[in-house]
Amino acid sequence: MSDKTTARLAGTSGILYASLLFGASFIADPGLRLRVAVIGLVLFVPFLTYLCGVLRRAEGEPAWLSTTALAAGVVGLGIKLGSGAVEIAGQPRGSTPGSRAPSRASAAARSC
């Protein structure tokens, strides 16, 4: 694969990452929102690796900035994926991430 194609794929994955993560905030269904966000986060990995490679080539020795950018990206990715685990754990028992069981308060309001 040529350098030009690699740069375009990395740039496209960066744009898709930002678009999917931003767009996921407007999705009402929590299961679908989580899936779209995870797809966006997966697309962040090639963007981050290409960006760190470009920084390393431009930086020269010692390459501390590119290493810091890679570490910050990996930590940010881990934090975001960890927050998805918390969202799944917050689901009511017996439900899947895409479906919410009605709460007792909403069931009591309907019976009135």
Selection from 53, 19, 50 nearest residue 36 by Cα:
19
H helices of the chain, in order, are: 3-24, 30-59, 64-89, 104-111
In this predicted model, what pLDDT tens digit does every residue of 55-110 receive, in sequence order? 998 988 888 888 999 999 999 999 988 887 887 777 776 666 555 555 555 555 55
pLDDT at 110: 59
The answer, yes or no, to whether residue 44 has pLDDT greater than 90, is yes
pLDDT at 49: 93
pLDDT at 86: 82
pTM of the predicted protein model: 0.71
